[in-house]
Amino acid sequence: MRRHPVAQMVIVGAIASAIGIALALVIDWFPADAAEQAGPIDTLYDVLMIVSVPVFVLVATVTLFAAWRFRMRPGQEKQDGPPIHGNTRLEVVWTAIPAILLVSLCSYAYAVLHDIEEKKADPLVVHVTGQQFAWSYRYPQAGGRAINTTALVLPKDRPVLFKVHAEDVIHDFWVPAFRVKIDAVPGITTEVRATPTKLGRFPVVCAELCGLGHAVMRSTVRVVTPAAYDRWVAGQTAGTAPAAGGETGGEGGASADAAAGREVFTTNCGSCHTLADAGTSGTVGPDLTTALRGQDEATIREDVVDPDKRVAEGYQPGVMPGNFAETLSAEQIDGLVAYLASVAR
């Protein structure tokens, strides 16, 4: 073995590559795959790993081997290595192989991009707006009307076209479970497509450093059955709210207003606030199960529409959206306040 350092290096390299590739494929790198786009992207990632690991191992073993084999020994301090002249064949090989690798991988990646960006017939258009530090969504409806909400609700298996806007600085709309991500840039509209394939709740994340509240600029996408989605839309447009899969408030004496307000709460506030009565468990803002106790209706209303006027201890101003008076209808806010007041009692 000693006499065949190159053979030794090849064996070590092959074993290290095999271990590296096996590890790369065994490790579960990604969250749930909840959209059609996830499959091709995950496969692309696996292929990149399979190709990259041997390249990394080759560079690392040659470097380590050379450092060990050709290291300076005592007495060689003043010596120089032998002069090196070009080696055309070697240079052609080490230029051609990486060039072929890069061109193939780029072509493959381009094909995947083309595939996941394919325009599908009859997409659901959802306008996404990023602003410091919250996401809001607008669903255009027939007759020029629109649903404005801070909850992203999507029907399963329907292609969605997100049109992304920014109010203030650059944000980045990212749904890790869909594997899609696009910058939200002030002044322009960017687009990204996804077709949800799994029911459930998945995080929406801001992936561009945008200020103090960047880390809490999160939201949730809820993928529901087409029937539940239609019910949600009907509830939103009617201003009263049959729940998308939820039940109505069971509290004794709650008015119809408050029952509707509970749905407004779970859709718009639940991803940030925990409230036992509504069954929500968000942790961005104060836990309302305790914070609400004893608050009167006027204070609650003010906390909803002007959240920075009175920020709870331990929380930053500017994190809770200050525009609920615009994104929710007057009836929705009345319902929400009535509901919260009924819980506070």
Evaluate whether 284 touches 315 at the Cβ level (below 8 Å): no
Q: Torsions phi, psi of 140, nearest 5? A: -60, 140
> Looking up tokens 């193939």, which residue turns up?
104
Nearer residue to ligand CUA within complex by CB, 217 or 292: 217
Residue 208 as a binder of ligand CUA (CB under 6 A): the answer is: yes
The site map against ligand CUA for 215-244 (x = CB under 6 A) is: --x---------------------------
Output 165 or 171, the one with its CB closest to ligand CUA.
Answer: 171
* Among the listed residues 206, 243, 269, 300, the single contact to ligand CUA using CB under 6 A: 206
Smallest distance from ligand CUA to CB 231, Å: 31
Residue partners of 303: CB distance under 8 A and separation at least 6: 295, 309, 310
For tokens 């561009």, name the residue. 208
Q: Is 284 in the site for ligand CUA (CB under 6 A)?
A: no
Stretch of residues binding ligand CUA (CB under 6 A), selected from 53-61, 104-112, 149-157, 203-211: 203-211
Give least dist CB 150 to ligand CUA, A.
14
Q: Name the residue nearer to ligand CUA (CB basis): 34 or 206.
A: 206
CB of 216 to ligand CUA, least distance (A): 9
Q: Tell me the closest approach of the beta carbon of residue 176 to ligand CUA, in angstroms.
A: 14
C-alpha closest to that of 116 among 194, 174, 32, 181: 194
Q: Given the complex with ligand CUA, which of 217 and 333 has the nearer CB atom? A: 217
* Residue 202 preceded by cis peptide, ω within 30: no
- Which stretch in 96-104, 208-216, 224-232, 309-317 sits in contact with ligand CUA by CB under 6 A? 208-216
List b or e across 186-214, with b for residues whose CB sees 16 or more CB atoms inside 10 angstroms: eeeebebbbbbbeeeebebbbbbebeebb
Residues within window 132-161 making contact with ligand CUA, judged by CB under 6 A: 133
Q: Which is nearer to ligand CUA, 50 or 207 (CB)?
A: 207
**Does position 171 bind ligand CUA by CB under 6 A?**
yes
Sign for the CA dihedral angle at 282, 283, 284, 288 comes to positive
Among 38, 210, 259, 341, indicate the residue that binds ligand CUA (CB under 6 A).
210
- C-beta of residue 218 within 8 angstroms of C-beta of residue 201: no
175 in contact with ligand CUA (CB under 6 A): no
> Smallest distance, Å, CB 89 to ligand CUA?
51
Distance CA 80, CA 53 (A): 34
Please name which of 144, 141, 142, 162 lies closest in space to residue 152, comparing C-alpha atoms: 162
Rounded to 5 degrees, φ, ψ at 205 are: -125, 145
Among 41, 130, 236, 342, binds ligand CUA (CB under 6 A): 130
Q: Does 164 bind ligand CUA (CB under 6 A)?
A: no
Query: Which residue stretch of 74-82, 98-106, 204-212, 293-301 sits at the interface with ligand CUA (rule: CB under 6 A)?
Result: 204-212
Distance, in Å, from the CA atom of 197 to the CA atom of 224, rounded to the nearest integer, reads 10
Part in contact with ligand CUA (CB under 6 A); list of ranges 81-89, 120-128, 202-210, 223-231: 202-210
CA–CA separation, 270 and 288 (whole Å): 10
The whole-angstrom separation of Cα 333 and Cα 297 is: 12
Residues that bind ligand CUA (CB under 6 A): 130, 133, 171, 206, 208-210, 214, 217
